[in-house]
Amino acid sequence: MTAIPGAPADPDRIPITALLLAGGRGSRMGGLDKGLQSFGGLPLAQHALERLRRQTLPPAAMLINANRHLPDYQAFGVPVWPDVLPDYAGPLAGFLTGLAHAQTPWMLTLPCDVPRFPLSLCERLAQALLAQKADIAMVAAPEEDGRLRPQPVFCLLRRELHDSLARFMAAGGRKIDAWTAQHRQVLVPFDHPGDDPRAFANANTLAELRQLEREPRQDACQPPMPSF
């Protein structure tokens, strides 16, 4: 994979469906449905949808992948689809579900438990994908030691990869990076000046969620986030 800071490409050429992943068991959160937990006064899933609408390149459509409390998710006003595979088969099952239902050539994946994801996420992934003529663009975010680490749940990928993913999962594959490595992909760093170093911090527990809620947010070159 090649890491690039972005390129002068036109991301508007890529109609994108954003898939919000909210289908996990929530095991480390005591079995709670993560997407329905409050962050700043809104359920995490609703907060993420609002943040997607404020992207510098807003997606053309949005979907939610959820396996429990479907009426609660449907109340957020976007289509909700449970996994096409049984028994909570992991994030890739959500990917597969999204690719089966997306109506655009490209799909953005993101988890519901990372409430500070950048407002430039969609655009920067699209720019890198176009510049490298890749099948998949994946986020690389800085760790505490400054090194970049891939974030496999944050991907922009071609809808035509559905059949490849279906075969991979039918053979027992479950790791995102093992599947994405089969295709032309580009790593997109989110460590530029002005980037929030905690933009991709996730909340596995309620304590971590409350900590993220207390921390100040940075949205470089964007209007201040509303108080939710």
Give tens-digit pLDDT for 193-214.
Answer: 999 999 999 998 999 999 998 8
d(CA 225, CA 228): 8
Give tens-digit pLDDT for 38-77.
Answer: 999 999 999 999 999 999 999 999 999 999 999 999 999 9
Query: What angle separates helix 162-170 from helix 91-101, to the nearest 10 degrees?
Result: 140
- Under the banding of pLDDT at 50, 70 and 90, the label for residue 12 is low
> Residue 81: which region, alpha, beta or left (left: phi > 0; alpha: psi -120 to 50)?
beta
The C-alpha angle with vertex 98 and arms to 184 and 66, in degrees rounded to 5, equals 135
d(CA 206, CA 193): 30
Distances (CA, A) of 118 to 56, 68, 90, 104: 10, 27, 24, 22
**Percent residues over pLDDT 70 in the chain:** 89
Give the burial class of 215: count Cβ atoms within 10 A of its Cβ; 0-12 exposed, 13-18 middle, 19 or more buried. Answer: exposed
pTM equals 0.89
**Which domains are delineated in the chain?**
2-26+36-214 (3.90.550.10)
Which pLDDT belongs to residue 226? 33
d(CA 65, CA 70): 9
| CB-based contacts of 166, cutoff 8 Å, min separation 6 | 96
**Per-residue pLDDT for 35 more than 80?**
yes
- Under the banding of pLDDT at 50, 70 and 90, the label for residue 5 is very low
- Under the banding of pLDDT at 50, 70 and 90, the label for residue 225 is very low
Residue among 1, 2, 3, 6 nearest 123 (CA): 6
Mean pLDDT for the chain overall: 89
